[in-house]
Homo-oligomer: A and B are copies of this chain.
């Protein structure tokens, strides 16, 4: 009962976000094959039906091969499709976006992260994927724990405050932010852990288990 129709090509593309120098950035990759050989693009690849349990696993595979480890947060974004988006033929790309703390990247990877508002011309329909990814991230940032995944496992309230401001691109009141975040139980103080310096020590926090909604999950 296989359909007799010719089937589209199926691939995944990933938008890998990080924060560098106070700006929301994307990690791009230089394509090693045609089409668009040598051009900077979103990391992506074909789904491998032999080895991938689903498209999310394909996305994880792509991400690992790019940065060497798993993203702290990965979520399906949108599926792009059509005859024209890829010169190789009618294709379907399941796009994902991921959040990666800059501190986990090595020197050269970190340097390659480019601000989302100053990207080079991108091939395929990657500009649309980027637009949607930024929109989604900004939209979710205001009411979820997402931006926390751009930080390493331990962070101060001010770290978190800054990263929310940078992903949303707007100023947030310090006291209200603190209150709202703590009330939502998405982070918890790590007992007796403080960041010290030439000033009052800052309580260190970590994400709590309530940080994600049911359909989202850490990988």
Residues of chain A touching chain B, judged by Cβ–Cβ distance below 8 Å, are 1-3, 5-10, 33-35, 46-50, 53-56, 76, 78-83, 88-90, 92, 94, 132, 135, 214-215
Please judge, given known A-B contacts A10-B8, A49-B8, whether A34 and B94 are in contact too, CB under 8 Å: no
Q: Are B53 and A89 in contact (CB under 8 A)?
A: no
Q: Are B33 and A54 in contact (CB under 8 A)?
A: no
Q: Are A55 and B35 in contact (CB under 8 A)?
A: no
Q: Are B88 and A53 in contact (CB under 8 A)?
A: no
Which of B34, B48, B78, B80 contacts A5 (CB under 8 A)? B48
Which residues from B are CB-within-8-Å of A6?
49-50
Identical subunits present: 2
Which residues from B are CB-within-8-Å of A215?
132, 135
Pairs across A and B, CB under 8 Å, 28 listed = A1-B33, A1-B88, A2-B88, A3-B9, A5-B50, A7-B9, A7-B46, A7-B49, A8-B47, A8-B49, A10-B10, A10-B92, A47-B81, A47-B92, A49-B83, A53-B82, A54-B80, A54-B82, A55-B79, A55-B92, A56-B81, A76-B78, A79-B94, A81-B94, A92-B92, A92-B94, A135-B214, A135-B215
Q: Are B1 and A34 in contact (CB under 8 A)?
A: yes
Which residues from B are CB-within-8-Å of A76?
78-79
Complex: A215 Cα to B79 Cα, angstroms: 13
Residue of B nearest to A55 (CB): B81
Complex: A55 Cα to B92 Cα, angstroms: 8
Which residues from B are CB-within-8-Å of A33?
1
Complex: A50 Cα to B8 Cα, angstroms: 10
Which residues from B are CB-within-8-Å of A89?
2
